């Protein structure tokens, strides 16, 4: 095995709790109704192209992304459009969504739903990018940045490396892990496609060494391809952050406020690579994804292949139902995920996991005074002083917060995780960031 | 099912808290405490009890009746201040001086700034320096280890036997008689174990180092301040010694005598009053180390650890402002 | 010995004189010539430095007035008309009379009206709670109860009531400086004219959801039924995004909209207790206005044949309105209950 790499600055070691790591991906039965939000990606919302009462097939386009940074949305089940209206999203706010009552599972004719692995790449570079755009593929790591935009290298920049993110540094989550173990072959084809679409030669796959089976298997598969290298990494959070991953793999540091392309890298998640494979080779839009449903008290933690728009409740039912003492349900990882206000909220493209926390772990400890121990500074992977930024944000001293680089914060939560006083440092920084952003924007005008 | 909880991420937290950190520091101080009990007997226990109890009492009274805020005596910081204060005084100290010292440490050193987390100086050192300046005789009357055990009781020292049971510290000898005077006193093994006159907690370098390593191992403190502090004081003492071995004591002597080790691991590393960034901590350590040796060699006091740390505490806000942590994605600022 | 004394005295005197001379010239050189009226105006101002005028502070306000030699668009909400007149006197200008305003909290989603559905566990700032989720009651527009407004107030004029979880304005202290309006991330607080003898009528809800969900979140939400719009004889009420709004400039304080609201979302301040008579009158008025507006709609419909569909809609809504009228009076009891809490706390504030 190769020497383990990692990034240097900051980082923490949360307990892993990868309880669902050995649970194979199961397919969740098609739900009765799905609510598919039309704005599932970073950037502009898409425009709805179906009407109430219309019959749709699985994979049919229902919302078209028209802005530069926006993505298409497709029907994830076949059936009748019940309504095009606002539904509650994960945070309890209203979002425009298409509600479809499912009737059977009839797919669009041109979609290949067979199990067969199609390895031969026939599409050209432009065709690959177009296909990815058409099929609504977005970054599945959580940020949901439209993938086709990422493949278009801005003028004056060159991409040297394609980096595939198989780190999954968040505790609890195992969806990427299972994908790598079970769909290695398809993944490699997806990576080849991304490579061709991007026009790069070298590919690095970063995987933390708490997933030895994935490292072993993918190394085997990768040996059949040229220039695809699997690099095991030391377990450390937040290694899955783009900037930290590039630093760990290549030792390059993405300058503040810039994208990875600045140092010749494009980072994609393994889930994205798999979705790209399906989109280009199988003509299948992004209508489902793998979601980890887990929690210490959950009866059957599992990894499920779920249609987009399925209510969270269905997933939890599949995993044995909500335990009695549930205190909190989180959408995403425990470090960066969002707490759900209602179990009716739909699974979206960016949902990597649903985690159920028992009551005892749901509420935070009472916040104490800051003793300036500097643990948060030690933990911050961006080299910031979270305790100070939080103070500045609390006192609304936006210009000083900007001087102290509040906008560099990647919101990984390491600071709050380590704080012995239980101070909600990240919460305050989150209050500060939009205010500072607004201030910078106003100054520009 | 009850109501779901909504909160910002992260949703998992490290199993840590202020009391936990504080009690780890207390655990680290246990070896040195045992040594002081062994060397100074019941008199030491007396001082410990008075110091800790009065620290708790004053913290409670001030929070209850002056600040009228939440009462946080359970966070363990008063316990640490009490033990450190006791570490920093001779075991023969009259009880009421100890109480006054505790009042100054808690009241002036900590509470007057708003309590834990806001004090610019290490409270125990504030108390100690206050006592040193106010009661110079009692604070520099050092009982001899072991010999003094049986002469002490909870009542304090009897003046009649004072001369037989007290003697100077090695640093005091150095100050008065120079390097030649030292050869009469004990050897290094004795100094390391604590066979010398001095404050209760500072005598045994070995016990203190054991505790310090525990703190480093448990990641309660980082290595920057101790290493920088020890390294710089050792280096400066070595330079002086090389320049003139007949006039200056050798660097090992400086390391194992006086309160250096105690200061390095337990007082300079105090979270609240030391800098945040690694760079700042190294500056802090180097500054404290240099000041300590300068005060010891050229100053009028034989010992300089408390003053050195307090001076560097005062410089901490400046250091914090100037030496930021290494930022990700920013090139280190170079002079163009 | 004497020499020492003489030297000392002479050298000190010399030093003093030299310093005095230097200081004198420096003072001359750097003297700032300023319009003395700036100080006078500033003196007249309340020195609250609240920023309610839109400028950085009282000094900036005074400078702006003196510099521009006009009072147009300049108003010190804290000082009110009195202060503005005084400033006008200093400047030799005419002061515009401004109607006094007061902050009004347009949310009645108290803990009983809008029960808690999830538990918020985070820092006590509305800004963060707003960014995180819709809030404990689930209402995406309602008060979050973290008290950013209370914190923003420099005049001790707005307080969170721990019983209701809502802010309450202390009218006597409120200067309408706009601080709380800006602090509220949900735009719940509005500056409204104080009204005659402090009498005001307003919709105490800013929820823009449709009736069903709005009612689910909160008992006293505006469900956008449009009854008040129909009932208002002065066309002071408009409906936008399922939310009614009373234009304070048009409102004649007739109280006829208050009892007919099916969710009691219309609140009135400083009125005598609602009598049966007014309730009856309001019901009658609603019937009358409905008929009148139906006819008016019909008339327009006849004029414009294209608008037939619109007229049909009006008839439809009226039918449902009639059904709801009875409910309106039965809900009256709960309305007065809700208002008890704010009143009692207000009197407490006065005592303190």
pLDDT tens profile B41-50: 888 888 999 9
pLDDT of C91 reads 84
pLDDT of B300 reads 85
Selected residues 126-155 of chain C with any CB under 8 Å from a CB in chain A: 127-128, 131-135, 138, 140
Residue B9, min C-alpha distance to chain C (Å): 10
* CB-CB under 8 Å, B3 with C122: no
> Are the CB atoms for A334 and A171 separated by under 8 Å?
yes
CATH homologous superfamily of A125-281 equals NADH-ubiquinone oxidoreductase 51kDa subunit (3.40.50.11540)
* CB-CB under 8 Å, A94 with C140: yes
Helix, strand or coil, per DSSP, at residue A162: strand
Question: In which residue ranges of chain A is CATH 2.40.50.100 found?
Answer: 25-102
State how far the Cα of A126 lies from the Cα of A198, in Å rounded to an integer.
Answer: 10
* CB-CB under 8 Å, A363 with C119: yes
pLDDT tens profile B188-215: 777 778 788 888 888 888 999 999 999 9
Selected residues 328-387 of chain A with any CB under 8 Å from a CB in chain B: 328-330, 332, 334-342, 355, 357, 359, 361-365, 368-374, 377-378, 380-385, 387
* CB-CB under 8 Å, B8 with C120: no
Sorting pLDDT into bands at 50, 70 and 90, what band is C342? very low
State how far the Cα of B95 lies from the Cα of B77, in Å rounded to an integer.
Answer: 22
Sorting pLDDT into bands at 50, 70 and 90, what band is C84? confident
Q: Is the pLDDT of residue A204 over 90?
A: yes
Sorting pLDDT into bands at 50, 70 and 90, what band is B2? low
Q: Is the pLDDT of residue C303 over 80?
A: no
**Partner residue opposite C132 with nearest CB, options B3, B4, B8:** B8
Question: In which residue ranges of chain A is CATH 3.10.20.600 found?
Answer: 288-362
State how far the Cα of A294 lies from the Cα of A316, in Å rounded to an integer.
Answer: 9
ipTM for the predicted complex: 0.87
Name the least confident of B71-80, B127-136, C79-88, C332-341: C332-341
pLDDT of C311 reads 53
> Are the CB atoms for A284 and A307 separated by under 8 Å?
no
* CB-CB under 8 Å, C122 with A427: yes
Per CB-CB distance under 8 Å, the chain C contacts of B7 are: 120-122, 132
Chain C residue with minimum CA distance to B5: C119
pLDDT of C160 reads 93
pLDDT tens profile A136-152: 898 887 778 888 888 88
pLDDT of C331 reads 38
CB atoms under 10 Å from CB of B15, counted, come to 8
For testing contact with chain A, the best of C118, C119, C123, C132 (most A CBs within 10 A): C123
- Residue C233 has phi, psi (to 5 degrees) of -75, -10
* CB-CB under 8 Å, B14 with A426: no
CATH number for the segment(s) A25-102: 2.40.50.100
Q: What is the mean pLDDT of residues B253-258?
A: 86
Chain A adjacent subunits, 3+ CB pairs under 8 A? B, C
* CB-CB under 8 Å, C128 with A339: no
Q: What is the mean pLDDT of residues A324-346?
A: 89
State how far the Cα of B46 lies from the Cα of B48, in Å rounded to an integer.
Answer: 5
State how far the Cα of C148 lies from the Cα of C128, in Å rounded to an integer.
Answer: 10
Q: How many angstroms separate the Cα of A338 from the Cα of each of A181, A240, A268, C39?
A: 27, 17, 22, 54
Residue C36 CB contacts under 8 Å (≥ 6 apart), including other chains: none
Per CB-CB distance under 8 Å, the chain A contacts of C209 are: 94
Residue C247 CB contacts under 8 Å (≥ 6 apart), including other chains: C236, C237, C238
Per CB-CB distance under 8 Å, the chain A contacts of B1 are: 322, 324, 326
pLDDT tens profile A10-68: 889 998 889 998 899 999 999 999 999 888 777 777 888 888 889 999 999 998 888 88
Q: What is the mean pLDDT of residues B69-78?
A: 87
Output the DSSP codes for B270-306.
Answer: -TTTS-SSHHHHHHHHHHHHHHHHHHHHHSSSS--HH
For testing contact with chain B, the best of C120, C134, C140 (most B CBs within 10 A): C120
Which of A113, A164, A170, A173 has its CA nearest to residue A139? A164
Per CB-CB distance under 8 Å, the chain B contacts of C118 are: 3-6
**Partner residue opposite C132 with nearest CB, options B3, B4, B6:** B6
Chain A residue with minimum CA distance to C138: A92
Per CB-CB distance under 8 Å, the chain B contacts of A330 are: 9, 11
Strand-strand pairing, A288-294 and A353-358: parallel
Chain C adjacent subunits, 3+ CB pairs under 8 A? A, B
pLDDT of B79 reads 94
* CB-CB under 8 Å, A341 with C122: no
Q: Is the pLDDT of residue C346 over 70?
A: no
- Residue A203 has phi, psi (to 5 degrees) of -125, 135
Q: Is the pLDDT of residue A274 over 90?
A: yes
* CB-CB under 8 Å, B13 with A416: yes
The structural domains of chain C, ordered by start, are 36-91 (1.10.15.40), 101-276+332-351 (3.30.70.20)
Chain C residue with minimum CA distance to B3: C118
- Give the class (CATH, top level) of A288-362: alpha beta
Q: What is the mean pLDDT of residues A107-116?
A: 85
Output the DSSP codes for C238-305.
Answer: EEETTEEEE-TTT-----SSTTT-TT--EEEESPPPPPHHHHHHHHHHHHHHHHHHHHHHHHHHHH-G
Cis peptide before A238 (omega within 30 of 0): yes
- C309 vs B107, more confident: B107
State how far the Cα of B318 lies from the Cα of B273, in Å rounded to an integer.
Answer: 12
How many Cβ pairs closer than 8 A exist between chain A and C? 46
Residue C11, min C-alpha distance to chain B (Å): 35
Query: Mind spelling out the 3-state secondary structure of B167-179?
Result: CCCHHHHHHHHHH
Per CB-CB distance under 8 Å, the chain C contacts of B6 are: 118-122, 132-133, 136
Average pLDDT in chain A: 90
> Are the CB atoms for C61 and C45 separated by under 8 Å?
yes
Chain C residue with minimum CA distance to A341: C118
pLDDT of A419 reads 93
Residue ranges in C133-173 assigned as alpha helix (H): 148-152
Block residue for tokens 């406020």: A257
pLDDT tens profile B302-312: 888 999 999 99
Residue A46 CB contacts under 8 Å (≥ 6 apart), including other chains: A38, A39, A63, A64, A65, A66, A70, A71, A72, A73
Where is A339: in which H helix or E strand? Answer: strand A338-339
* CB-CB under 8 Å, B16 with A372: no
Residue B267, min C-alpha distance to chain A (Å): 13
Sorting pLDDT into bands at 50, 70 and 90, what band is B334? very low
Chain B residue with minimum CA distance to A406: B327
State how far the Cα of B150 lies from the Cα of A422, in Å rounded to an integer.
Answer: 48
Sorting pLDDT into bands at 50, 70 and 90, what band is C312? low
Average pLDDT in chain C: 81
State how far the Cα of C168 lies from the Cα of A360, in Å rounded to an integer.
Answer: 35
Per CB-CB distance under 8 Å, the chain C contacts of A362 are: 121
CA angle B324, B330, B332 (to 5 degrees): 65
Chain B residue with minimum CA distance to A422: B17
- Tell me the Cα Rg of chain B: 21
Chain C residue with minimum CA distance to A337: C132
A67 touches chain B (CB under 8 A): no
pLDDT of B160 reads 62
Name the least confident of A41-55, A188-202, A387-401, B217-231: A41-55
Q: Is the pLDDT of residue A216 over 90?
A: yes
Q: Look up residue C143 and give its two tokens.
A: 């008060």
State how far the Cα of B334 lies from the Cα of A264, in Å rounded to an integer.
Answer: 25
Chain A residue with minimum CA distance to B9: A336
Residue A59, min C-alpha distance to chain B (Å): 33
- Tell me the Cα Rg of chain C: 29
Which of A353, A351, A349 has its CA nearest to residue A73? A349
Name the least confident of A51-60, A284-293, B237-246, C336-345: C336-345
- Tell me the Cα Rg of chain A: 21
Chain B residue with minimum CA distance to A92: B6
Beta strands in A249-325 (DSSP E): 265-269, 288-294, 302-307
Q: What is the mean pLDDT of residues A300-308?
A: 93
Collect all residues from A whose CB is shorter than 8 A from any CB in C. 88, 91-94, 338-339, 341-342, 362-364, 367, 424, 427-428, 430-431, 434
Question: In which residue ranges of chain A is CATH 3.40.50.11540 found?
Answer: 125-281
């Amino acid at each position: 095995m190769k020497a383990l790499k990692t990034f240097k600055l900051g980082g923490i070691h949360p307990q892993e709790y990868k309880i669902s790591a050995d649970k194979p991906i199961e397919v969740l039965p098609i739900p009765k109704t799905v609510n598919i939000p039309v704005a599932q990606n970073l950037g502009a919302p898409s425009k709805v192209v179906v009407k109430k009462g219309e019959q749709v097939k699985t994979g049919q386009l229902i919302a078209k992304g028209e802005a530069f940074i926006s993505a298409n949305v497709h029907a994830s089940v076949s059936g009748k459009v019940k309504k095009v209206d606002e539904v509650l999203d994960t945070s309890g706010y209203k979002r425009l969504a298409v509600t479809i009552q499912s009737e059977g599972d009839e797919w669009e004719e041109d979609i290949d739903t067979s199990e067969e692995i199609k390895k031969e790449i026939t599409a050209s570079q432009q065709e690959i990018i177009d296909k990815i755009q058409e099929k609504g593929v977005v970054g599945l790591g959580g940020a949901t940045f439209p993938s086709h935009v990422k493949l278009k290298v801005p003028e004056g920049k060159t991409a040297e490396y394609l980096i595939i993110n198989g780190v999954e540094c968040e505790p609890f989550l195992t969806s990427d892990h299972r994908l790598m173990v079970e769909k290695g072959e398809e993944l490699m084809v997806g990576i080849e496609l991304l490579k061709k679409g991007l026009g790069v030669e070298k590919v690095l796959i970063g995987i933390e060494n708490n997933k030895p089976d994935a490292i072993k298997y993918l190394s085997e598969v990768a040996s059949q391809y040229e220039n695809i290298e699997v690099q095991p990494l030391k377990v450390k959070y937040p290694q899955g952050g783009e900037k930290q991953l590039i630093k760990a793999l290549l030792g390059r540091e993405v300058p503040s406020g810039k994208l990875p392309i600045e140092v010749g890298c494009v980072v994609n998640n393994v889930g994205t690579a798999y979705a790209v494979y399906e989109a280009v080779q199988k003509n299948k839009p992004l209508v489902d994804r793998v979601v980890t449903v887990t929690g210490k008290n959950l009866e059957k933690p599992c990894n499920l292949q779920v249609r987009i728009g399925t209510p969270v409740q269905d997933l939890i039912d599949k995993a044995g139902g909500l335990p009695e003492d549930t205190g909190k349900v989180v959408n995403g990882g425990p470090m960066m995920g969002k707490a759900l206000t209602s179990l009716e909220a739909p699974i979206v493209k960016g949902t990597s996991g649903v985690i159920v926390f028992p009551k005892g772990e749901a509420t935070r400890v009472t916040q104490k005074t800051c003793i300036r121990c500097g643990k948060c500074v030690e933990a911050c992977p961006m080299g910031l002083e979270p305790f100070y930024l939080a103070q500045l944000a609390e006192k609304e001293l936006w210009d000083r917060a900007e001087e102290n680089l509040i906008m560099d914060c990647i919101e990984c939560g390491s600071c709050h995780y380590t704080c012995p006083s239980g101070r909600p440092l990240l919460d305050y920084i989150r209050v500060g960031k939009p205010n500072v952003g607004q201030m910078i924007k106003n100054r520009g005008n | 099912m009850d109501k779901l909880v909504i909160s910002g991420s992260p949703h998992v937290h490290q199993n840590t808290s202020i009391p936990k950190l504080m009690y780890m520091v207390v655990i680290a101080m246990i070896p040195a405490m045992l040594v002081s009990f062994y060397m100074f007997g019941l008199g030491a226990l007396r001082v410990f009890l008075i110091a800790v109890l009065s620290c708790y009492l004053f913290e409670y009274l001030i929070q209850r009746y002056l600040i009228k805020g939440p009462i946080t005596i359970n966070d363990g910081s008063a316990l640490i201040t009490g033990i450190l204060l006791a570490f920093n005084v001779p075991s023969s100290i009259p009880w009421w001086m100890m109480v006054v010292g505790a009042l100054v440490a808690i009241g002036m050193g900590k509470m007057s700034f708003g309590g834990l987390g806001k004090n610019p100086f290490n409270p125990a050192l504030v108390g100690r320096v206050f006592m040193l300046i106010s009661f110079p005789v009692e604070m520099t009357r050092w009982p001899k280890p072991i010999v003094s055990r049986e002469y002490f009781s909870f009542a304090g020292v009897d003046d009649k036997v004072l001369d037989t049971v007290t003697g100077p510290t090695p640093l005091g000898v150095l100050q008065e008689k120079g390097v030649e005077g030292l050869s009469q006193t004990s050897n290094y093994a004795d100094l390391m174990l604590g066979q010398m006159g001095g404050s209760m907690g500072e005598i045994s370098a070995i016990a203190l180092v054991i505790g310090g390593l525990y703190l480093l191992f448990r990641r309660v403190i980082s290595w920057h301040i101790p290493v920088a502090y020890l390294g710089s004081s050792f280096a400066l003492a070595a330079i002086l010694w090389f320049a003139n071995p007949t006039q200056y004591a050798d660097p090992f002597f400086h390391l194992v005598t006086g309160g250096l080790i105690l200061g390095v691991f337990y007082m300079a590393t105090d979270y609240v009053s030391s800098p945040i960034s690694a760079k700042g901590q190294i500056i802090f350590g180097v500054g404290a180390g240099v000041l300590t040796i300068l005060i010891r060699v050229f100053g009028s006091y034989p010992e300089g650890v408390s003053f050195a740390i307090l001076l560097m505490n005062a410089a901490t806000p400046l250091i914090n402002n100037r030496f930021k942590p290494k930022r990700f994605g920013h090139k280190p600022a170079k002079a163009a | 010995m004497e020499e020492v004394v003489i030297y000392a005295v002479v050298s000190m005197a010399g030093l003093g004189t030299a310093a005095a001379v230097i200081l004198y010239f420096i003072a001359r050189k750097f003297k700032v010539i300023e319009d003395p009226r700036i100080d006078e105006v500033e003196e007249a101002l309340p020195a609250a430095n609240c920023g309610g005028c839109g400028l950085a502070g009282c000094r900036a306000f005074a400078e702006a007035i003196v510099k521009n030699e006009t009072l147009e668009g300049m108003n010190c909400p804290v000082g009110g008309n009195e202060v503005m007149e005084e400033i006008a006197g200093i400047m030799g200008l005419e002061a515009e009379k401004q109607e006094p305003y007061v902050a009004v909290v347009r949310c009645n989603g108290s803990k009983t009206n809008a029960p808690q559905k999830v538990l918020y566990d985070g820092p006590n700032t509305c800004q963060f709670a707003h960014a995180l989720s819709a809030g404990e009651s689930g209402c995406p527009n309602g008060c979050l109860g973290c008290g950013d407004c209370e914190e923003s107030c420099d005049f001790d004029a707005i307080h969170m009531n721990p019983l209701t979880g809502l802010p309450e304005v202390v009218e006597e202290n409120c200067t309408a400086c706009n601080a709380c309006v800006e602090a509220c991330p949900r735009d719940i607080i509005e500056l409204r004219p104080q009204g005659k003898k402090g009498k005001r009528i307003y919709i105490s809800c800013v929820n823009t959801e449709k009736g069903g969900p709005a009612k689910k979140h909160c008992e006293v939400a505006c469900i956008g039924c449009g009854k008040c719009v129909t009932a208002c004889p002065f066309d002071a009420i408009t409906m936008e995004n399922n939310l009614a709004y009373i234009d304070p400039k048009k409102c004649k304080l007739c109280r006829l909209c208050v009892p007919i609201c099916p969710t009691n979302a219309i609140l009135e301040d400083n009125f005598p207790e609602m009598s049966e008579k007014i309730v009856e009158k309001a019901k009658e008025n609603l019937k009358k206005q409905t008929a009148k507006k139906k006819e008016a709609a019909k008339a327009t419909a006849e004029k414009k044949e294209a608008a037939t569909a619109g007229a049909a809609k009006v008839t439809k809504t009226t039918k449902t309105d009639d059904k709801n009228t009875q409910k309106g009076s039965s809900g009256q009891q709960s309305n007065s209950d809700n208002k008890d809490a704010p009143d009692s706390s207000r009197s407490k504030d006065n005592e303190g």
